[in-house]
Amino acid sequence: MYRLIAIDMDGTFLNGKHQISDENIAAVKAAQEKGIKVVIVSGRQHKSIKEFLNRHGLECDAVGLNGAEFLDHNGKEIYIQWMEKESIKAVIDLCEGEKAIYQIYNSEHIITNELQDPFNEFKKIVKMHNPNAENLLERTEMFYKGIYDGGIVEKDVLGFLQKEGMGAIKMLILSHDEEKLIRIQERLSQREDLTVTSSFRGNLEIFHSNTDKGIALLQIAKELGIKKEETMAIGDNLNDIRMITEAGLGVAMGNALEAVKQKADFITKTNNENGVAYAIKKFVL
């Protein structure tokens, strides 16, 4: 019997139109009615996750920024894992040297060094991997504008953080240049103070070394007195792998990357086929 279900958001709980289907909503509510804890675990900020959940009448705890930001369904802070100041400076220095776009996330803000259209690099990435997908490009731009609403653009990001007394929970690096991303990833992966992962092609996500979705899953289970074998995790991308392998039952979406599918115990339907609902019905309801 599974008592805790951890669900990724983009590419998993959300369909290709960045919506939560009625089928997925019904399955989550049915699981909750059976006393099962459902937690959304995403690379998004907690406030972005909650906007989606509130819009669909869902009350779930949410772990944002890849496991670094955990708040309950009432918005009460359980824990936040901040990056070290030295780590932030090292990432910024490397990105500036590579002329890479980067973003810094905390609970309330997104700060970026992109001085022109903040969606330029997103557009290049989408066009590179989906050259004929005009509808996808439009949906992606709307999606990131929703996330980026209220973002802060600064030429001297590090100076701004120091002046405002702000920290970082997550840093995101964007580039349509895959060789540049590989160089950056290789450099950052050598550091013991950082966790480096990716949520889609064309990006890197950087956190404190004690942060990932798998660690978050185990922490939540421990706090609730739930055994590891009583947990289930569903995801689609590289940043979901640890969560999937740590869970008692690891489920990969039908649209997941092959590397994710290889680590999963079960492959469900795609996010456009209500794969979350299918897995919950099969193993829980």
User: Which structure tokens are listed for 105?
Assistant: 């996330």
- Confidence (pLDDT) at 110: 83
Kindly state whether residues 116 and 179 are assigned to the same domain. Answer: yes
Kindly state whether residues 92 and 197 are assigned to the same domain. Answer: yes
Give pLDDT tens digits for 106-151. Answer: 877 888 876 555 566 666 666 665 555 555 555 555 555 555 555 6
Kindly state whether residues 106 and 54 are assigned to the same domain. Answer: no
User: Which structure tokens are listed for 206?
Assistant: 């950087």
- Confidence (pLDDT) at 41: 95
- CATH (domain of 149): 3.30.1240.10
- Confidence (pLDDT) at 236: 95
Distance CA 165, CA 231 (A): 38
- CATH (domain of 59): 3.40.50.1000
Phi, psi (5° rounding) for residue 252? -105, 140
- Confidence (pLDDT) at 77: 81
Helix axes 178-189, 85-98, angle to 10 degrees: 150
Distance CA 203, CA 105 (A): 14
Kindly state whether residues 52 and 118 are assigned to the same domain. Answer: no
Among the three residues 188, 208, 228, which one is the final residue of a domain in this structure? 208
- Confidence (pLDDT) at 150: 58
- Confidence (pLDDT) at 124: 67
Q: How many domains does the chain have?
A: 2
Among the three residues 191, 208, 225, which one is the final residue of a domain in this structure? 208
- Confidence (pLDDT) at 157: 83
Give pLDDT tens digits for 188-212. Answer: 999 999 989 887 777 899 999 988 8
What is the average pLDDT value for the chain, to the nearest integer?
A: 86
Distances (CA, A) of 41 to 5, 56, 202, 210: 10, 17, 21, 16
Kindly state whether residues 110 and 196 are assigned to the same domain. Answer: yes
Confidence of residue 103 (pLDDT cuts 50, 70, 90): confident
Kindly state whether residues 171 and 70 are assigned to the same domain. Answer: no
Kindly state whether residues 75 and 216 are assigned to the same domain. Answer: yes
Kindly state whether residues 202 and 113 are assigned to the same domain. Answer: yes
Confidence of residue 79 (pLDDT cuts 50, 70, 90): confident
Confidence of residue 162 (pLDDT cuts 50, 70, 90): confident
- Confidence (pLDDT) at 275: 98
Least confident of 9-18, 198-207, 237-246: 198-207
CB atoms within 10 A of CB 148: 16
Kindly state whether residues 91 and 178 are assigned to the same domain. Answer: yes
The more confident residue out of 248 and 118 is 248
Q: What percent of the chain has pLDDT over 70?
A: 87
Phi, psi (5° rounding) for residue 70? -120, 115
Distance CA 13, CA 102 (A): 26
Distance CA 26, CA 207 (A): 33
Among the three residues 208, 241, 256, which one is the final residue of a domain in this structure? 208
Q: What is the mean pLDDT of residues 96-100?
A: 90
- Confidence (pLDDT) at 12: 96
Kindly state whether residues 193 and 119 are assigned to the same domain. Answer: yes
Phi, psi (5° rounding) for residue 205? -120, 130
The answer to whether 117 is a known catalytic residue is no
Query: Taking 90 as the threshold, does the pLDDT of residue 152 lie above it?
Result: no
Domain that holds residue 247: 4-81+211-283
Q: Which of 8, 177, 236, 240 is catalytic?
A: 8
Q: What is the mean pLDDT of residues 62-75?
A: 85
The more confident residue out of 29 and 69 is 29
Q: What percent of the chain has pLDDT over 90?
A: 53
